[in-house]
Amino acid sequence: MKVVVLSESSADEAAIRILVNGILGKETLDVPSLPLRSRGWPYVHRVLPTVIKFLHYQTDAEALVVIADSDDSPIHQGSHDKAGGEESRCRLCQLRNVFKETKLSSVSGRGELKSAIGLAVPAIEAWYLCGIDPHVNEATWARKLQQSEQITYTRNALKKSAYGTERPTIDIMTRRAIEAANRLANDLSEIERLFPDGFGSFANDVRRW
């Protein structure tokens, strides 16, 4: 299956592909996409319509995976999936809307571009630490956002724990991300339990392909 991954860094994209392969139980193939500069949430959100159109009209990609960090924005919840339940500040809901609103004309011999969208709470480094730091999970961060609990970590602390340094190079980030993804892909039950909405939505999308 030919799959393109779009996220906030090339290191994350390498790790996410491993997770996609773990969910599917088979290897996926990459497809050359648009050259993208160093990016974060605003750029990923802004460039997504262009990427969708490019893949649909210019490639034979079968699916596009998009993963973004939640940072301090609202965490996606199951209630957002119901009709009229979307949360305008939820980044996963925003990304879903981009797919819905990007108009594509039919192309002969071209099927619909499949999608899978996930939200890493509060950042993808939390996924990388799943099974290592028991305090890192969606529920704990949700309580922190509600100011009902003081927690022991910040987003910057997660990055330092995941990469072993406050200023990782892209090579360090890629190596650590791939190591974490390979560990998680061997048994997805823990990350699905601790990150049920952000990771779970992504995994469910992939399984529906």
pLDDT at 188 over 90: yes
Name the percent of the chain lying above pLDDT 90.
74
Q: What is the pLDDT of residues 112-165, one digit of tens each?
A: 999 999 999 999 999 999 999 988 999 888 888 777 667 777 888 999 999 999
> 14 CB contacts (<8 Å, ≥6 apart)?
174, 177, 178, 181
Q: What is the DSSP string of 94-154?
A: HHHHHHHH------TT-PPPEEEEEEESS-HHHHHTTTT-TT-SHHHHHHHHTTS---S--
Contact 199, 127 (CB under 8 A): yes
For the CA atoms of 182, 184, 188, 189, the dihedral, rounded to the nearest 10 degrees, stands at 150
Question: Given this model, what pLDDT does residue 67 score?
Answer: 97
* Residue showing tokens 């893949």: 55
Mean per-residue pLDDT over the chain, rounded: 91
* Residue showing tokens 């990007």: 102
pLDDT at 7 over 80: yes
Residue type, 163: Y
Q: What is the DSSP string of 11-64?
A: HHHHHHHHHHHHHHTS--B--------S--HHHHHHHHHHHHHHHHHH----EE
Q: What is the pLDDT of residues 27-73, one digit of tens each?
A: 999 998 888 876 789 999 999 999 999 999 999 999 999 999 999 89
Handedness of CA 3, 42, 173, 138 (dihedral sign): negative
pLDDT at 97 over 90: yes
Residue of higher predicted confidence among 156 and 14 = 14
Question: Given this model, what pLDDT does residue 152 score?
Answer: 72
Question: Given this model, what pLDDT does residue 71 score?
Answer: 92
Angle 189-190-196 (CA atoms, 0-180°, nearest 5)? 85
Mean pLDDT in residue range 76-88 = 71
Local structure of 73: helix, strand or coil: coil
